[in-house]
Amino acid sequence: MSPLDWWLLLAMLLFCIGAFGVLARRNTIVVIMSLELMLNAVNIALVAIAQFRAGSQGAGVLFSLFVITLAAAEVTVGLGIVIANYRAKRTVENDHFDEMKG
Amino acid sequence: MSGANNDVMVILPGVVVAATALVVFMADTLVGGRKWVLPWIAAAGLIVAAGVATAQWIDVGAIGSVWDFVSGSGSGLFGGGTAESGFASMVALDKFAYYCTLLFCVIGVLTIMLSDAYMKKRRDAMGEFYGLLLLVITGMIGMAISIDVIALFVAFELMSLPTYVLAGFIRGDERSGEAAIKYFINGAFSSAILLFGLALLYAATGQTNYASIAAGLNNLGADAQSGLVIVALVLVAVGFGFKIAAVPFHWWAPDVYEGAPTPVTAFMSVGIKAGAFVGFLKLFTVAVISAPEVWTAILTILAVLTMIVGNALALPQRNLKRMLAYSSIAHAGYILLGLIAVGAGNVSVGASGERVLDTSGSSAVLFYLGAYAFMNIGAFGILVWIRNRRAFRYTLDEVAGLARSMPWTAIAMTLFMLSLTGIPPLIGFWGKLYLFTAIVNAGMTWLAVLAVIMSAVSAYYYLRVVWYMYFREAPGVAPAGAGAAEAGAVQAGAVEAGATVAGAPVTVGAAGALETGAGAAAAEATLVADDAGPAVGSAAAVVIASLGVLVLGLYPSPLISAAQGALRVLLGG
């Protein structure tokens, strides 16, 4: 396997760990951390592609800078929503969010 | 084709909307008690942006579009044409972008008008509401103009992030907060999946620009069907499916649509969906057009599931907001047909070996997004309007007898329900006709047959609303109190008719009389009618939407030619 494949494998592994965290964990703070892990896994992939793939023009590095910024914005909005919910419900466990069904 | 001037020109409508958002945020702190100016500022910004887009449309005349590249009319993204790209080919102007910008501005203005009833009671939060709404629209415009996966992802997030906040806008309300957290987690999850898909696409081709990705996939030849490309396209389709609430990625939609404030729900079901569709329409039909079999197969599965499950789950719903949420899922399935039509039948190889792209599928998507904007904003507008006039929990039982108590409202609602079903001569009929024609022309008749059957199924839950409004008595009417209830209803109806004619304000007393007289949900009436007076803006939004549904239904050719003009390929004229 080429070096790029190893890096992509690492990224995919981290991405799956993050995805598992989002799907399996109850605590919304941990869910947000898992979301960040997913985005950062992609960052590793992007930087690795820019480094190892011929003719990739370094766009991946640029892309990862955008992703870092967007991830920061996303976690800000997410934590804001979690805090607003905590004020109303006094909990951050997401199995308490079950007002609506059907 | 670079240089600062061009760069700014390309994104000018988006810049206008974003600048207006900042003005609204600032004005919010400066105007003191005169918060009523904020929606006017926001609407004015959108109208200016629409004007700029129109001026650019006229100015550029007969330029090509990004699809010229696919049609093989030239070597570059714009063929030999004169269309302009900016920021190192991150974004590009073409008629497609203009059409979408105009559509998004119309949706934005209608949403601002619609939110009148809702914001009257929350004046201190007006700045945030309209500012965030404008930022979402900026993101939607970004989706329409981006021709690079980096720009696409930034626009996608700009479109998504403020929406999470808007969904949770009623602070302290558990349902709204629950809608926000569910939407946020699902939305952020789907963004990450989309991002990974885009990264793999970059890994496969080494490019991020749509045209370069297409060229890269062409160079790969048979390898374009490789595992890497397939996985990338599946991940992109999953991220896209989440955003448009396609089955099996739809589970968040009903809860979010029910919990969010109704004007926001209207906007999400129409605006966010339109933004996602135009962005991915461009991605699929420009960047990965070389591998149409792969993404057409994925989208076909999504479309079939979405149409069947969306309609089936809408059938038992008795909450109108939830019913419209599931029906909105079903409509996403219909719109997917247009995308499939582009991939399935229309990429043929011309006589001299060039790729010929028939645009009927894409223009059907654009037309349907416009048509759907009018009818769905109208339907949600009716809910806002009823809620403005009296206690209303959005249940089917509460609209029983509406034809008597609010006759004009019932007529407008009937119009929207018929249009959503697809009954001629309303605009929804033309939208479905174009989508289904496109998919038949693409050689997938079975899909069109399924869609028609599912439309017939949808008639049940749409027309049930009409049946309740016209042929059911108001609920909770004891036989003894029936006379009083009718008197109250007639009185309120008379007052409403009076208000419609003379524009006179309806007194709260009359609405109260209806509530007491009909005893509607009095036992559990923690909800009361918004007592801030009639929301003229919301009523106007409903009137405009019904005119759109009716007039464009009788005379659809302007919208059709606009949708087709947006996709005119240089080579084919």
Q: Angle between the B174-205 and B227-244 helix axes, to the nearest 10 degrees?
A: 160
Rounded average pLDDT over B35-40 = 91
Asked, for residue A25, whether it belongs to a domain, the answer is: yes
Q: Do B192 and A31 touch (CB under 8 A)?
A: no
Best residue of A97, A98, A101 to probe chain B, by most B CBs closer than 10 Å: A97
Residue B568: what pLDDT? 54
CATH at residue A74 = 1.10.287.3510
CA dist., res. B184 & res. B198, Å (int): 21
Is it the case that residue B505 has pLDDT exceeding 80?
Answer: no
Asked, for residue B304, whether it belongs to a domain, the answer is: no
Q: Are B53 and B13 in contact (CB under 8 A)?
A: yes
d(CA A82, nearest CA chain B) in Å = 7
Of B154, B168, B259, the CB nearest to A84: B168
CA dist., res. B188 & res. A71, Å (int): 9
CA dist., res. B342 & res. B414, Å (int): 33
B467 interfacial to chain A (CB closer than 8 Å):
no
Asked, for residue B501, whether it belongs to a domain, the answer is: no
* Percentage of chain B modeled with pLDDT above 70: 80
Q: Do B178 and A100 touch (CB under 8 A)?
A: yes
DSSP of A16-68, one letter per residue? HHHHHHHHH--BHHHHHHHHHHHHHHHHHHHHHHHHHSTT-TTHHHHHHHHHH
In A, minimum Cα distance to B315 occurs at A102
Is it the case that residue B524 has pLDDT exceeding 60?
Answer: no
φ, ψ of residue B148 to 5 degrees: the values are: -150, 140
Asked, for residue B485, whether it belongs to a domain, the answer is: no
Query: pLDDT class for B532, splitting at 50, 70, 90?
Result: low
Beta bridge partners of A93: A27
CA dist., res. B396 & res. B463, Å (int): 12
In A, minimum Cα distance to B325 occurs at A102
Query: pLDDT class for B563, splitting at 50, 70, 90?
Result: confident
Asked, for residue A21, whether it belongs to a domain, the answer is: yes
Most confident of B321-330, B470-479, B560-569: B321-330
All residues of chain B having their beta carbon less than 8 Å from the beta carbon of residue A97 are 177-178, 181-182
d(CA B175, nearest CA chain A) in Å = 6
Query: pLDDT class for B59, splitting at 50, 70, 90?
Result: low
Q: Do B254 and A45 touch (CB under 8 A)?
A: no
All residues of chain B having their beta carbon less than 8 Å from the beta carbon of residue A19 are 189, 192-193
Best residue of B89, B148, B149, B150 to probe chain A, by most A CBs closer than 10 Å: B150
Apex B44 CA angle, B38 and B49, nearest 5: 130
Of B171, B185, B196, the CB nearest to A31: B185
Q: What's the domain range around B48?
A: 4-193+256-287+314-469+537-565
Asked, for residue A100, whether it belongs to a domain, the answer is: no
Asked, for residue A78, whether it belongs to a domain, the answer is: yes
Q: Which residue has the tokens 């302290």?
A: B172
Q: Do B196 and A100 touch (CB under 8 A)?
A: no
Residue B121: what pLDDT? 80
Q: Which residue has the tokens 């289904």?
A: B436
Asked, for residue A101, whether it belongs to a domain, the answer is: no
Rounded average pLDDT over B167-188 = 89
Is it the case that residue B165 has pLDDT exceeding 60?
Answer: yes
Q: Which two tokens stand for residue B43?
A: 């609407």
Residue A54: what pLDDT? 80
CA dist., res. B198 & res. B193, Å (int): 9
B180 interfacial to chain A (CB closer than 8 Å):
yes
The total of structural domains in chain A comes to 1
φ, ψ of residue B355 to 5 degrees: the values are: -85, 130
Beta bridge partners of B355: B349
How many angstroms separate the most distant Cα atoms in chain B? 82
Of A42, A77, A88, the CB nearest to B184: A77
Q: Which two tokens stand for residue A9?
A: 């494998």
Checking DSSP bridges between strand B355-357 and strand B347-349, what pairing results, if any? antiparallel
Q: Are B551 and B370 in contact (CB under 8 A)?
A: no
Task: Average the pLDDT over each of A12-16, A78-82, B474-478 and give the range with the smallest value.
Answer: B474-478
Query: What is the distance between the terminal CA atoms of chain B, rounded to a whole angstrom?
Result: 24
Query: pLDDT class for A77, splitting at 50, 70, 90?
Result: very high
The rounded Cα B447 to chain-centroid distance in angstroms is 23
Rounded average pLDDT over B522-531 = 42
Of A57, A60, A70, the CB nearest to B154: A70
Rounded average pLDDT over B232-258 = 92
Q: Which two tokens stand for residue B335?
A: 């719109």
Q: Whose CA is closest to B144, among B66, B45, B55?
A: B66
Q: Do A84 and B180 touch (CB under 8 A)?
A: yes
B189 interfacial to chain A (CB closer than 8 Å):
yes
d(CA B365, nearest CA chain A) in Å = 29
CA dist., res. B398 & res. B392, Å (int): 7
Residue B84: what pLDDT? 65
Of residues B162 and B68, more confidence is placed in: B162
CA dist., res. B241 & res. B250, Å (int): 8
CA dist., res. B204 & res. A6, Å (int): 15
Q: Which two tokens stand for residue B118?
A: 């809702």
Best residue of B153, B164, B189, B323 to probe chain A, by most A CBs closer than 10 Å: B189
Q: Do A49 and B202 touch (CB under 8 A)?
A: yes
Sheet strands (E) in B31-92: 85-86, 91-92
Of residues B561 and B43, more confidence is placed in: B43
Of B177, B196, B207, the CB nearest to A85: B177
Asked, for residue A27, whether it belongs to a domain, the answer is: yes
Residue B67: what pLDDT? 52
pLDDT in tens, B74-91: 333 333 344 567 777 788
Residue B262: what pLDDT? 93
pLDDT in tens, B179-226: 999 999 999 999 999 999 999 999 988 889 888 888 888 888 766 667
Residue B357: what pLDDT? 62
Q: What does the mean pLDDT of chain B come to?
A: 82
Q: What's the domain range around A71?
A: 3-94
pLDDT in tens, B288-305: 877 788 889 999 999 999
Asked, for residue B522, whether it belongs to a domain, the answer is: no
Is it the case that residue B572 has pLDDT exceeding 90?
Answer: no
Q: Are A88 and B172 in contact (CB under 8 A)?
A: yes
CA dist., res. A93 & res. B468, Å (int): 40
Of B189, B206, B208, the CB nearest to A54: B206
Q: Do A74 and B188 touch (CB under 8 A)?
A: yes
Q: Do B181 and A97 touch (CB under 8 A)?
A: yes
CA dist., res. B289 & res. B144, Å (int): 17
B184 interfacial to chain A (CB closer than 8 Å):
yes
Of A4, A32, A88, the CB nearest to B172: A88
CA dist., res. B520 & res. B515, Å (int): 6
Complex ipTM over 0.85: yes
Most confident of B6-15, B163-172, B318-327: B318-327
Residue B497: what pLDDT? 44
pTM higher than 0.90, yes or no? no
The identity of residue B123, as a single letter, is R
Is it the case that residue B365 has pLDDT exceeding 60?
Answer: yes
Best residue of A39, A75, A100 to probe chain B, by most B CBs closer than 10 Å: A100
Q: Are B83 and B211 in contact (CB under 8 A)?
A: no
Rounded average pLDDT over B366-376 = 94
Asked, for residue A77, whether it belongs to a domain, the answer is: yes
Rounded average pLDDT over A30-37 = 95
Residue B223: what pLDDT? 67
Task: Average the pLDDT over each of B36-40, B131-135, B438-442, B556-560 and give the range with the smallest value.
Answer: B556-560
**Does the bond joining B316 to the residue before it have cis omega, within 30 degrees of 0?**
no
Asked whether the CA dihedral B451, B452, B458, B462 is positive or negative, the reply is positive
Asked, for residue A48, whether it belongs to a domain, the answer is: yes
The total of structural domains in chain B comes to 1
d(CA B382, nearest CA chain A) in Å = 22
Rounded average pLDDT over B60-69 = 50
Is it the case that residue B490 has pLDDT exceeding 50?
Answer: no
